[in-house]
Amino acid sequence: MERNITLDSITYLNHNVVHLVAQRPKDFSFTPGQATEFALTHPKWRNEKRPFTFTGLPKEDTLEFVIKVYPDHHGVTEQIPVLEPGDQFIIGDAWGTIQYKGPGVFIAGGAGVTPFIAILRDLAKNGDIKGNKLLFANKKQRDIFFKDHFENWLGDDFVNILSEEKTDAYAHGRMDFEFLKAQISDVDQYFYVCGPPEMIDDVVGSLSKMGVAKNKIVTEDM
């Protein structure tokens, strides 16, 4: 069922990622890791639906989204920063297959970290964050977002790697077999993977090569 919801606030988290907070309908529910089909109310964009993940918690009075903006695509995300408090947008029912099954390693590329935000936030709130780790891949340091939250929740178990910038603060390179091997000490835990399709394929291949069982790897299409 589609619902029109009202935007409360919109802020930039970095140069191309925005954080939306909107009013949650009383009858709307979701679980951490789920997403929805999102559309703008403008007639030109009404039928252009995009999947975005809920990044807040289910019992809060608001709905939150963290969305990466792609101006060069000239599509829906380019229009989102134009929204103002009081404007409405459309969401459908919650769906999604990224569900927390137990402690493990969250492996994300860019905007692929968004399904993990609500999961990690929920674990931190309930005191169950221990035993989890986040590996976050981006091109440059300025592309990292939600950094303060991840550091607060995970401490040293929040690890960044940059592919297009060298800095003393973070590892440089790609989320390849060698990097993963250095970060992973237990292949029997769960591995949650989300990001660009090519990255997911590479990471799943590397995990399999390390001896991780297929049923321990959680992706959006499993």
User: Does residue 126 lie in a domain region?
Assistant: yes
pLDDT tens figures, 58-82: 999 999 999 999 877 668 888 999 9
Rounded to an integer, what distance in angstroms lies between the CA atom of residue 66 and that of residue 52? 8
| Residue-number span of the structural domain to which 84 is assigned | 3-91
Residue segments in the chain with a per-residue pLDDT below the cut of 50: 222
* pTM, rounded to two decimals: 0.94
**Total domains in the fold of the chain:** 2
**Residue 65's CB: how many other CB atoms inside 10 A?**
24
| Cβ-proximal residues to 185 (8 Å cutoff; 6+ apart), any chain | none
Supply the pLDDT for residue 43: 83
pLDDT at 93: 96
Q: What is the pLDDT of residue 4?
A: 95
For residues 135 and 204, state if they share a domain. yes
Q: Among 39, 60, 91, which residue terminates a domain?
A: 91
| Residues 26 and 112 both lie in one domain | no
pLDDT tens figures, 142-176: 999 999 999 999 999 999 999 999 999 999 999 99
Please report which helix (H) or strand (E) contains residue 186, including its range.
Answer: none
In a domain, 82, yes or no: yes
In a domain, 178, yes or no: yes
Q: What number of CA atoms fall less than 13 Å from residue 53's CA on the CB side?
A: 23
Cα separation, 22 vs 184, whole angstroms: 38
* Same domain membership, residue 157 and residue 54: no
Q: How many CA atoms lie within 13 A of 110 on its CB side?
A: 18
Of 91, 120, 148, which one is at a domain's C-terminal end? Answer: 91
